[in-house]
Structure 1
């Protein structure tokens, strides 16, 4: 059984993908192109940067336009956050009630991440972002920072994410991983566990 959870944010605790996919489809269509939400979803599930690069190259659109659409979406989320993943609030609360910590490890800049966490009322104990000066995943630095800061044993922890780099970074810090799989864009990863919903994590955490 695991006690503490290291969470990815976008796509794991917060359902950011649908609006991001729609924003990128909108950029392509504004230039007379045509791309489906499913096609974009397969790219964004790899990474936002990969989606920008692929769409920019494929449709001859300056990548800055996709970046601007992404920034505008993040600004919108400050007042109207993306929806929380089903079961996330309840699971976070139950982990805390059982004496565990909920720790967020994200590429999202700190202001954007905090606006989502606070706007959605998510019970998070600590958050580390690349904007704190840490390298991006799959580098394990952010996981190691939180392990040390809270005096945790890696064996007591589970890392939950939605992209292969989440599992890769966690493993490099000695933490086992669970992948929240997306029907829109299944991924190949090395995570020890795979779930379709956050409630699927409960048995791993001894929460029923």
Structure 2
């Protein structure tokens, strides 16, 4: 096992793209969210560079600041329902990433706890984990936090629930938001620059360790 994991009491993994492959088309999720946001009279031009959840959160905040609290609640609920339906369709046939079972078994065999921290919907995440029989001890989805990654709340929820010091925890993910969430919480981080991704997603957010595949951590 890689040295960065040797003394970790817990390892927190992102889900999609890190432990499993689902084929989620994030550009379509973003387009669907922007279409819905436009229905509330919000200019979507400044939101084009954001992901689906980021765009929704900014739109929700804009409505709140305009004194439209009820509309902000409605938008969030409708957006999350739409995203859940799309994610459910994409996650119908998930596949495990190479090395996932060997790595998780090795971690658990020495007593390390496994956390899943994902921006995906809770029900979708549970179905994916159960379908592939991925072993884990705690799941923190977007439904369990007020602010999603790159905010550190996902990580902080785990640290608080397990009463862990950040230095004893490692965060692993395939996107810069995972690394930023881990660093902001005070944890060590591992970034997976996937072999099918041409441009390093961590070039502006370097992790403590950069690998190309999950199985390099074995």
Q: Residues of 1 paired with 2:82 and 2:173: CA distance?
A: 24
- 1:20–1:70 CA contact under 8 A, matched in 2: no
SS for the counterpart of 1:20 is coil
Partner of 1:33: none
Partner of 1:103: 115
1:200 aligned onto 2:216: yes
What residue ranges of structure 1 are gaps of 5+ in the alignment?
Answer: 28-45, 53-66, 203-208
Partner of 1:186: 200
Partner of 2:87: 74
Q: Residues of 1 paired with 2:177 and 2:26: CA distance?
A: 24
Tell me: CA distance 1:154–1:115, structure 2 relative to 1, closer, same or farther (3 Å): same
- 1:134–1:142 CA contact under 8 A, matched in 2: no
Question: TM-score, normalization: structure 1?
Answer: 0.69
SS for the counterpart of 2:96 is coil
Q: How does 1:8-157 map to 2 (within 5 A)?
A: 8-16=14-22, 19-21=23-25, 24=28, 48-49=51-52, 73-76=86-89, 80-157=92-169
Partner of 1:64: none
Q: Residues of 1 paired with 2:139 and 2:85: CA distance?
A: 23
Q: How far does residue 74 in structure 1 lie from its aligned partner after superposition? A: 2.6
What residue ranges of structure 2 are gaps of 5+ in the alignment?
Answer: 1-5, 32-48, 56-79
Question: TM-score, normalization: structure 2?
Answer: 0.67
Give the CA RMSD over aligned residues: 2.9
